[in-house]
Amino acid sequence: MAGESSYVERAPTPALASLVSSVWVQQVGDQAVTQRHVPHGGAEVRCVLGEPPRLLGPLTTSTYHDIPAGGTVVGVRLRPGVLGGLAGMPADELVDQNVPGADIWSDPARLTDVLGEAATPQAALAELQAFLLRSAGEPDPLVSEAVVRLMPASGGGTAALPELLSISERQLRRRCRAAVGVGPKELQRILRFQGFIARVQASVDERSDVDLARWAIEAGYHDQAHLSRECRRLAGATPGEVLAQYGSACACGHDHAASYLPMLRGGDGRFVQEGRPVPA
């Protein structure tokens, strides 16, 4: 309806599936909105149509940005470990940065024009995905494996990673920072937090009962108090406040399923490694 806002996420085109976890179109109604972002381990390329694209680097705490009234945003969320190859620089130089595309790519003006001239927001999103497919380098395979092993369902910590991956702790940390932006320990904290966020988003969609204590254990926290400390550190809010904020922002029909469903096992809502279901 005219004047209303909408947000729809979906999986990327198959050719980008190894690089991008989700893509989205957001259309803002008659009033400008301030959007909150929390750490998720990856980076985002987003463009308010008519404006130059921007790169939101890996976050270590929550941040905000404004979208003008009537604005349409197309965006992609890069998987952890992809940013270094896409940006052509060590990812740790982009941590907590919101960077103009002109600082990263040689011809962002052309991309701005192509996106702005697209017939529909969906066509603009398709153009953005095609641009990323042409621009992205190959991720570091060792870091990609480390990311899988640090997902909430893995149950493992960072201490065993060097032996499992046949690399020294120092080299692993260096390669992880270059590809992801943060070291293995910080990445594990962020991915664990995203496990909790996935359950929050699912509960909003399903209007299911809230069980913060259970969600905390399933996501890999020692207990609810541990979750609360990490939630304040990464999101600047308590778990209850995060739940209320997502409920208020997304209960009107925002669709985040492409982000959270890969981390949930169908039926019971428990967490899984992306692409590797955990045995029952």
Q: Inform me whether the pLDDT recorded for 79 exceeds 60.
A: yes
- Which residue, 135, 165, 192, sits at the end of a domain? 135
Closest CA relative to residue 194, chosen from 38, 57, 60: 38
Q: Mean pLDDT across the stretch 263-279?
A: 45
- Among 67, 102, 135, which residue terminates a domain? 135
- Is 170 inside a domain boundary? yes
- Write down the mean pLDDT value for the chain: 85
Write the CATH number for 271.
1.10.10.60
pLDDT category at 266 given cuts 50, 70, 90 is very low
Same domain, residue pair 146 and 112: no
Mean pLDDT of 115-142: 91
pTM, to two decimals: 0.86
Instruction: Let me know whether 257 and 234 are in one domain.
Output: yes
Residue 161 has pLDDT above 50, yes or no: yes
The residue that leads in pLDDT, 219 or 39, is: 39
Q: What are the phi and psi torsion angles at 276 (to 5°)?
A: -135, 85
Domain residues for the domain of 60 are: 6-135
Mean pLDDT, residues 128-150 taken together: 91
Same domain, 170 and 41: no
> What is the tens place of the pLDDT at every residue in 208-243?
788 899 889 888 899 999 999 999 999 999 999 998
**HEC letters along the chain:** CCCCCEEEEECCCHHHCCCEEEEEEEECCCCCEEEEECCCCCCEEEEECCCCCEEECCCCCCEEEEECCCCEEEEEEECCCCHHHHHCCCHHHHCCCEEEHHHCCCCHHHHHHHHHCCCCHHHHHHHHHHHHHHHCCCCCHHHHHHHHHCCHHHCCCCCCHHHHHCCCHHHHHHHHHHHCCCCHHHHHHHHHHHHHHHHHHHHHHHCCCCCHHHHHHHHCCCCHHHHHHHHHHHHCCCHHHHHHHHHHHHCCCCECHHHHHHHECCCCCCECECCECCCC
Q: Within a domain: residue 1?
A: no
Residues 160 and 267 in one domain: yes
Residue 280 has a pLDDT of 28
Number of domains observed in the structure of the chain: 2
Q: Is residue 35 part of a domain?
A: yes
In the predicted model, is pLDDT for residue 254 greater than 70?
no
At 74 the pLDDT is 95
Q: pLDDT band at 274, cuts 50/70/90?
A: very low
* 79 and 112 fall within a common domain: yes
